[in-house]
């Protein structure tokens, strides 16, 4: 059974810092991996989708990498801003046509 772990559970940084959020998964036979952002009391917003054949995806200040063989993904946020404060969730798709399995998330706080 696939298990997804996100470390750290919470992270506080000053504005302007670059930071890395970690996601690990137990079964490397994944189809894709998706990173989401969730603001308090809100739904999930998709940030980046990485297919299993890809190594990384970039969108603005965000860069997500995928290493299937080691069961890891990282989300890199450059030049963090207070508006980046939210919970970041990693989710893994097992094979085409299966639902995503989520980690518990990392709650990020960026202070000005």
Examine residue 101 and tell whether it contacts another protein (CB under 8 A).
Answer: yes
Spatial distance between the Cα atoms of 106 and 15, rounded to a whole number of angstroms: 17
> In this complex, which beta carbon is closest to another protein, that of residue 47 or of residue 110?
47
Which residues, numbered 35-74, are part of the site for another protein (CB under 8 A)?
A: 36, 42-46, 49, 51
Q: What's the closest the beta carbon of residue 63 comes to another protein, in angstroms?
A: 17
Residue span 18-37 as binding mask against another protein, x where in contact by CB under 8 A, dash where not: -------------xx-x-x-
How far CA 14 is from CA of 22, 24, 104, 108, 111, in Å, comes to 19, 25, 23, 11, 5
Spatial distance between the Cα atoms of 4 and 36, rounded to a whole number of angstroms: 14
Sign of CA dihedral 42, 79, 55, 5: negative
Phi and psi dihedrals of 68, rounded to 5? Answer: -65, -40
Q: What's the closest the beta carbon of residue 58 comes to another protein, in angstroms?
A: 15
Binding site for another protein (CB under 8 A): 4, 31-32, 34, 36, 42-46, 49, 51, 89, 91, 93, 96-105
């Amino acid at each position: 059974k696939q298990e997804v772990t996100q470390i750290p559970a919470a992270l506080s940084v000053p504005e302007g810092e670059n930071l890395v959020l970690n996601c690990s998964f137990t079964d490397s036979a994944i189809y894709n991996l998706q990173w989401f952002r969730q603001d308090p009391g809100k739904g999930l917003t998709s940030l980046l989708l990485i297919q299993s054949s890809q190594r990384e995806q970039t969108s603005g200040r965000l860069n997500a990498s995928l290493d299937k063989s080691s069961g890891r993904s990282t989300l890199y946020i450059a030049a963090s801003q207070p508006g980046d404060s939210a919970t970041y969730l990693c989710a893994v798709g097992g094979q085409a046509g299966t639902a995503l399995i989520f980690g518990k998330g990392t709650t990020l706080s960026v202070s000005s």
